[in-house]
Structure 1
Amino acid sequence: MARLYTKDHEWIDVAGKVATVGITDYAQAQLGDVVFVDLPDPGRAVTKGGDAAVVESVKVASDVFSPVTGTIAEANQALADTPALVNEAPEGDGWFFKVEIADEADLGDLMDADAYAAYTASL
């Protein structure tokens, strides 16, 4: 499945029943230099649109929301040691967590890349 996006600037890559979630390049640019990331513990239940992680920059602290309801399968521990990965590779190695999806219907209202580009251009 292609990468999907939320209006809160998270991206999600789905592989079977597990999805990898991170923040977009647009979001990291708005945050500035990331200095700390608070990641969810594996096994934690998350809800679509609910807070799942926190990212702190030199400017602000911001919640990272889960695009789907499910259970955290894994957190990117590399961010604990190197939070700057969020700035360096926000849509790659700077991912935040993997979530086991409870209901694939949650994906229905997310944006594809073109819709997300149009959305950010309107901001």
Structure 2
Amino acid sequence: MTETNVPAGLRYTAEHEWVERTGPTSVRVGITDFAQDALGDVVFVQLPAVDDAVESGESFAEVESTKSVSDIYGPLEGTVAEVNGELETTPELVNSDPYGSGWLVVIDVADESTLDAALAETLDADGYRAAIDG
């Protein structure tokens, strides 16, 4: 079995999304190496539109693989500021570079303290590694 890549600088959810703070009130979101490996070959990614609301714990996107279709859940509450348009024509980026060019969306949050509180509820790399090794 290959070692799952869990970068230290990111935050993680129990639903296998990663969250990277990109500004005082914004985060980039994607699915983890563990999730993309479990999905298999990604063939389609359905993303929300810019300005769509994202609710914490609610489905906001779908990733379709040769095995199944999986919901992607909001890691926090906010508004979609940017979507990764490359995934429309190259969905396999989710498999080949889940923490880089395979990112899904950028979400803007109401204010810095709201984002701080939301990130505090996510897992660090050690916590996520413990969850998936469980």
Q: How is 1:1-123 mapped onto 2 (pairs within 5 angstroms)? A: 2-15=9-22, 16-102=24-110, 103-104=114-115, 105-122=117-134
User: What is the alpha-carbon root mean square deviation over aligned residues?
Assistant: 0.8
> CA offsets per residue over residues 54-109 of structure 1, 9 Å max, x none?
00000000011111100000000000010000000011110000000132222221
TM superposition shift of 1:31: 0.1
Gaps of 5+ in 2: 1-8
For 2:120, give the aligned amino acid. Answer: G
CA contact (8 A) 1:48 1:106 kept: no
TM superposition shift of 1:42: 0.3
| SS of aligned partner of 1:116 | helix
Gaps of 5+ in 1: none
CA contact (8 A) 1:3 1:113 kept: yes
TM-score normalised by structure 1 residue count = 0.95
CA contact (8 A) 1:51 1:64 kept: yes
How many residue pairs end up in the alignment? 121
Equivalents in 2 of 1:73, 1:60: separation in Å? Answer: 28
CA contact (8 A) 1:40 1:75 kept: yes
Runs of 4 or more consecutive aligned structure 1 residues displaced over 2 Å after TM superposition: none
